[in-house]
Amino acid sequence: MQPKHYIILVLAAILEVSGDAIIRAGLPHWSGGAKALGALVIAAGVVVLGIYGIFVNKAPLDLSTTLGLYVAFFAVVGCIIGGIRYHGEARDPCRDRRDRGRRPDHQLRRAHVAIAPDRAIESEELK
């Protein structure tokens, strides 16, 4: 594999992770009151992901033979961009909305039971 192939894989990973991060940045606006801003930010993310798709399909590289290497680059780039964008913590993009009372507390408890029904007793302790 030539050095330019590594550059192509890294650029593809950067485009894919960036497109996802841009869309995630638009979700709180979309679910909140600024739907127009959210739609614009999400559309920008879709454009970046579209550029990623064109870039990967036009690249002089057979991605099916280098998929494992691409996944490794994707994971590294994802950690770097995630660390920069979210300051190292994994987040739900709409968490801030829930923290401000948009989602009642009893729905959060019900979600916990749905995720771990075998530990429903523990969820009762949250009340």
Per-residue pLDDT reduced to its tens digit, 36-86: 888 899 999 999 999 999 988 888 888 778 888 888 988 888 888 888 876
At 43 the pLDDT is 94
CA distances from 83 to 75, 76, 77, 78 (A): 12, 11, 10, 8
Per-residue confidence (pLDDT) for residue 47, from 0 to 100 = 96
Torsion of CA 115, 29, 76, 1, to 10 degrees: 120
Residue with tokens 């579209």: 50
Q: What is the pLDDT of residue 94?
A: 53
Question: How many C-beta atoms lie closer than 10 Å to residue 88's C-beta?
Answer: 9
At residue 49, the pLDDT reads 93
Which pLDDT belongs to residue 59?
Answer: 85
pLDDT score for 126: 47
pLDDT at 18: 92
In tens, the pLDDT along 91-122 reads: 555 555 545 555 444 444 444 444 545 555 44
Q: What is the token pair recorded at 108?
A: 């959060």
User: Where residue 88 falls among pLDDT bands split at 50, 70, 90?
Assistant: low
Tell me, what's the pLDDT at 89?
61
Q: Quote the pTM value.
A: 0.62
What integer pLDDT is reported at residue 19 of this predicted model?
A: 93
Amino acid symbol at 102:
R
Q: How far apart are CA 20 and CA 12, in angstroms?
A: 12
